[in-house]
Amino acid sequence: MRRRWVGVAVAGAAAVVGAIAVSAQQAQQADPASCQGLLAQSNRLAGVLSAVPRYGSSYVLVVPQRLAEKVPNVEAPAVKDLQVGVHSGTPAGDAARAVGITRIKEYRFSESALVQPLQDVKDGSLDAAIMWAPLAGLGIIELGLQGQVSIFTIDKPHPAPTALRAQATADPCAMAILDELDASGVLPAELLIPVEIRSLLTRQVPRFNLAQAREGGTLYNQLCSRCHGPDAVADPKGLAPVDLRISMPRFSYPGFSYIILNGRPEKGMPPLRGTVTDEQIALMYQYLKARTEKLLPESETRK
């Protein structure tokens, strides 16, 4: 039985989260040879990748060893200067922008180019790539990049690419990918989220409804406008003069729920836990989304 010790940085502080143990049975099954040719097997690919434990919502930054000194971790200043390849139409681009990467090269997400970003990293024509972790692990195996790249979990949890979502299929290759990610010290994205917010990660984004958004506007103006300004328009003289129409796109629904429930004491925002229901949080979220996307004008919310 092998144990992988992973050094974890959470909220900028290093913390050891313990050893990830791989059972003897899994270790025997974790044969990289079982993955050979998988990229060309469309009927098998999605099911195998969906079966990789722990990393189903993780996206990773893959950096070649030639840049190891400049990019020893994802917080390194040099990360923002990298030209990074991402698959268009996947959350990889959002993950890149979340850490300040602006030099983004988009690749078409197609069966024939699933690991092309990694191939370009290998060839030296691209600095780095951000990919869904199971697909990155498979690409590293298929392209023989073991030991030639560093892999860092990046940003909060994101869903798998739509085209690769499927019913998980038990397969030795899934364990080989898990072994590769574990051996590289990759951290499941959920562990980048503070412990106290993890229980909210399963909250589903409410389906948008304009009538409910209007209800949310009434709630917002009752509960939040004193600090944040009426109709989500920042009041320069308010207690929190932040234009929520600009900042809202940064928030996931679990993150928004957490802040409403627990406040931000370090910034003077009180918690609303016990005074609002989950349904009311969903209404206010829809309202702020509507204001951000200009679906509700100020005049309408002030009637």
Question: What CATH number does the domain containing 139 carry?
Answer: 3.40.190.10
Q: Whole domain around residue 215: which residue ranges? A: 197-301
Q: Is the pTM of this model over 0.85?
A: no
Task: Return d(Cα 174, Cα 76) in angstroms, integer.
Answer: 31
Domain boundary residue among 162, 192, 222?
Answer: 192
Of 157, 192, 227, the last residue of a domain is 192
CATH code: domain of residue 267: 1.10.760.10
32 DSSP assignment: G
Inform me whether the pLDDT recorded for 171 exceeds 50: yes
C-alpha–C-alpha distance, residues 249 and 268, integer Å: 22
185 and 48 in a common domain: yes
pLDDT digits (tens, 9 = 90+) for 217-243: 999 999 998 888 888 888 887 788 778
Q: Look-up: residue for tokens 């509507």? A: 290
pLDDT tens for each residue of 245-288 = 888 877 778 888 888 988 888 778 888 988 999 999 999 999 99
Question: Tokens standing for 168?
Answer: 């998980």
| Residues 142, 53 within the same domain | yes
What is d(CA 198, CA 192) in angstroms, rounded to the nearest whole number? 10
Position 1 confidence tier, pLDDT thresholds 50, 70, 90: very low
Q: Could you say which of 167, 192, 217 is where a domain stops?
A: 192
DSSP 79-108: GGG--EEEETTSTHHHHHHHTT---EEEE-
Q: Per the structure, how many domains does the chain have?
A: 2
What is the Cβ-side half-sphere exposure of residue 146, based on CA atoms within 13 angstroms? Answer: 12
Which two structure tokens, joined as six digits, stand for 208? 């948008």
Burial group, residue 161, by CB count within 10 angstroms (0-12, 13-18, 19+): buried
